[in-house]
Structure 1
Amino acid sequence: MAGNKAVVYKGTGRVGVEDIGYPDLVLRDGPGVNPLNVGRKCEHGVILKVVTTNICGSDQHMVRGRTTAPEGLVLGHEITGEVIEVGRDVEFMKKGDLVSVPFNIACGRCRSCREQKTHVCLNVNPDRPGSAYGYVDMGGWVGGQSEYVMVPYADFQLLKFPDKDKAMEKILDLTMLSDIFPTGFHGAVSAGVKPGSTVYIAGAGPVGLAAAHSAQLLGASVVIVGDLNPERLAQARSFGCETVDLSKHDNLGELIEHILGEPVVDCAVDCVGFEAHGHGPNHSEAPATVLNSIMTVTRVGGGLGIPGLYVTGDPGGIDADAQEGTLKIRFGLGWAKAHTFVTGQTPVMKYNHSLMMSILSGRAQIAKAVNATLISIDDAPKGYSEFDSGAAKKFVIDPHGSVR
């Protein structure tokens, strides 16, 4: 049987590449696997030969030691692959199909799934609604930064590309369908972006850049991206965004006023999450900064999309409250301004087919927007290090060297 190289969390600040063994259609015991999930039979699943799998900022939270992730956890929830084995109960997926895997694991049978709320499936994680591959407290489903991976509920979950050869020509775009493109799009949609909107995007990492490109696709008149990293801000400008450098200035409203003539936008998207820093030359970690700042600069009656990750357990939090996800948010301000808040994981399946068609038609240029950068699986530790240092790149792992 073939081996299976995978990217594994080795403790704070460290990842390694190890052979974890070829997968089968059972969820075996291992690091992070919920005891109630051990031995779960998945004849409704498939084995994929992974074509591309991406490093995500959510992975970085774990690698930095900012979650309760156990050592040995196999990482990776952004997966695109070729079906090479199908379970007994799979009817519609065939060997050779090239597919995108939503990062949310969803059964397709529960009330949440039937209501398109696949991000909070009731049947895949014994701890709480919602699950994902290779992620802490998500049931223990094995991650896909690997050569091969098992994917359950294949008929329901997998998005098949209609033409395999054409898909491979655009694979660096299509690989973003598993997470960051739908996540950025969901942030923009839930904030209420529409033709003519002025939009502020907090964070110029890959999700922020995906949200900015999504806002453009939705017809925004001006998209402003804020960050502390000049290299990432330059990447945002490369596809037509306005930018504000928050490492130099601490008054976001004034910076927006210089661009728009008024200190407010129609809607805003938080693509930073719980490791947010304050603004200005002497900035330090202040986890409620982004939430409070976007309430300040969003007009009365506006919307806030919050796809940025917030957690219930952060061992590295700056105080006892932050360590359990309790933040000092100016909720009264949001209430007074009649803001709409949308939080949580993104229901990828709600968007991925439409975004696939936007890519295949040439309308969406998401790989260019996020600066997709191909690496081998053996170079994954280096990719994690560069990404953590602030590189303006979205690292795409090619485990088999199959991307031209």
Structure 2
Amino acid sequence: MPGNKAVAYQGPGKVTVEDTDYPEFELKEGPGVNPANVGRKVPHGAIVKAIATNICGSDQHMVRGRTTAPQGLILGHEITGEVVELGRDVEFIKVGDMVSVPFNISCGRCRNCKEGKTGICENVNPDRPGSAYGYVDMGGWPGGQAEYVLVPYADWNLLKFPDREQAMEKILDLAMLSDIFPTGYHGCVTAGVGTGSTVYIAGAGPVGLAAGVSAFLLGAAVVIIGDLNKERLAQARSFGCETVDVSKGDPKDQIEQILGVPEVDCSVDAVGFEARGHGRDAATEQPATVLNTLMEVTRAGGAIGIPGLYVTGDPGASTEAAKVGSLSLRLGLGWAKSHAFFTGQCPVMRYNRQLMMAILHDRVQIAKAVNASPIPLDQAPQGYADFDKGAARKYVLDPHGLLGSRA
């Protein structure tokens, strides 16, 4: 049996690459594993050899110490790879299949899954609906920033690529299907982006950039992305977005300079709870800033997609209210403008097959747009550190050295 190496959270600001157990078809006791899940049999699962597994901004929240993640938690929920072993109940997925693994873990059997709401599956997390690999309070399923990972309900969860050779040619693009591409797309779909739309996206990290690509794919006329990071704003401009530097002041004024009016048709929050202020307040954390700004700049009757992460427990928050996810929102403004708000995990399976086809048939180059950058698994700590400093890159871990010089 092969060994396994994985990236583990070791406390605020620190991750390490550790030797860990090769997956079995049973959940074992370990850091973050829900006690009610210990001993859970997984005959419906598959073991996937990770060919590409990405560092996500959601992981970074944990590594900064901004969640209740326990020390030793194996990280990683963006997984693309090859099936190497099957549980006895798997019927359709085969050993050797190249697959994308949605970050949502779902059973395919509960009411929510049957309604397409795979981000809030009722059967995989004993504490509450919704689960993900390697994430705090998500049931304790081991993460996929590893050489090998267990995927439950394999026939349901895994998206098989049609051709292995073609998949390897486009592996960095396909690696974005596990999370950020569907997440950015979901933000735009729920915001109502369509032909001729004007769109404001808060945040030029990988999800924000993926949302920008998605907005164009959906037919937007103008896509504006706002951020504090000049390198990330330059990355947004590289594929046709207009940009707003929120360190220079109110986004509304800069949007008016671009469009001639201070409002957009729809907007997307790709920042989440670690938002900073605008203008002179850009150096301070103000977690409600983005949501309040989007209500201000979105036209009456418009919608706001909120794929950016908000949490119920933030020990690093600056106020007692924010530590439990309570923010000072101008809900009255949103109510007065009849805004629609869409929150929660992206249900990846609602979009991943369609986006796969767009990639395979050269309708989109998502890896280029987000500046996908492969690094070896043992360089994960440096990748986390550089990403935390604002690198305009999407770091893709290469556990088995199969990505070569792709960039």
TM-score class, shorter: over 0.9
Q: Counterparts in 2 of 1:21-60, with a 5 A limit?
A: 21-60=21-60
Q: Matches of 1:200 and 1:99 in 2, distance apart?
A: 33
Query: What letter matches 2:257 in structure 1?
Result: H
CA distance in 2, matches of 1:379, 1:253: 40
Counterpart of 2:183 in 1: which secondary structure? helix
Tell me which residue corresponds to 1:321. 321
Report deviation, 1:177. Answer: 0.2
Distance 1:276 1:311 in 2: 13
The CA distance in 2 between the partners of 1:297 and 1:248, in whole Å, is: 16
Cα deviation per residue 1:181-233 (whole Å; 9 max; x = unaligned)?
00000000000000000000000000000001000000000000000000100
- Give runs of aligned pairs for residues 228-267 of structure 1, distance below 5 A: 228-249=228-249, 251-267=250-266
Pairwise mapping of residues 97-112 of structure 1 onto structure 2 (< 5 A)?
97-112=97-112
1:211-360, aligned counterparts within 5 Å?
A: 211-249=211-249, 251-283=250-282, 284-360=284-360
- The aligned residue for residue 143 of structure 2 is 143
d(CA) in 1 for partners of 2:51, 2:26: 22
Query: How far is 1:314 from its partner?
Result: 0.1
Shift of 1:5: 0.8
> Kindly, what percent of the aligned residue pairs are identical?
71
Partner of 1:129: 129
| Cα distance in 1 for residues equivalent to 2:358 and 2:62 | 32
AA aligned to 1:80 is T
CA displacement 1:331-368 (0-9 Å, x = unmatched):
01000000010000000000000000000000011001
AA aligned opposite 1:253: K
Matched residue of 1:104: which SS? Answer: coil
Superposed CA deviations along residues 132-177 of structure 1, whole A, max 9, x for unmatched, are 0000000000000000011000000100000010010000000000
Query: Which residue in the other structure is 2:160 paired with?
Result: 160
2:123 partner letter: N
TM alignment of 1:179-198, pairs within 5 A: 179-198=179-198
RMSD of aligned alpha carbons: 0.5
* Offset of residue 253 of structure 1: 1.0
* Counterpart residue number, 2:62: 62
Structure 2: gaps spanning 5 or more residues: none
Aligned partner letter, 1:134? G
Alignment of 1:87-98 (within 5 A): 87-98=87-98
Give the equivalent residue in structure 1 for 2:199: 199
Letter in 2 for 1:166: Q
* Cα displacement (A) at 1:403: 1.5
CA displacement at 1:112 relative to structure 2: 0.4
SS at match of 1:387: helix
- 2:279 alignment partner AA: G
Paired amino acid for 1:268 = S
SS in 2 for 1:300: coil
Give CA-to-partner distance per residue, 1:77-102, whole Å, 9 cap, x none. 00001000000000001010000000
Q: Which one-letter code corresponds to 1:221 in the other structure?
A: A
DSSP-derived class of the 2:248 partner: coil
* Structure 1 counterpart SS, 2:247: coil
Amino acid paired to 2:172: L
Which letter does structure 2 place at the counterpart of 1:194? G
**For 1:82 and 1:380, how far apart are their aligned partners in 2?**
21
Letter in 1 for 2:74: V
Q: Where does the alignment leave 5 or more consecutive residues of structure 1 unmatched? A: none
| Whole-Å separation in 2 of the counterparts to 1:201 and 1:56 | 18
| 1:281 to partner: Cα distance | 3.6
Whole-Å separation in 2 of the counterparts to 1:22 and 1:34: 19
Output the amino acid matched with 1:209: L
Per the TM alignment, residue 130 of structure 1 is displaced from its structure 2 partner at its CA by 0.3
Cα displacement (A) at 1:252: 1.4
Counterparts of 1:23 and 1:33 in 2: how far apart (Å)?
14
TM-score normalized by the length of structure 2? 0.99
Match in the other structure for 1:178: 178
Which structure 1 residue ranges, 4+ long, deviate > 3 Å from structure 2?
Answer: none
In structure 2, the residue corresponding to 1:364 is in which secondary structure?
coil
Q: Secondary structure of 1:356's partner?
A: helix
Specify the SS of the correspondent of 1:48.
Answer: strand
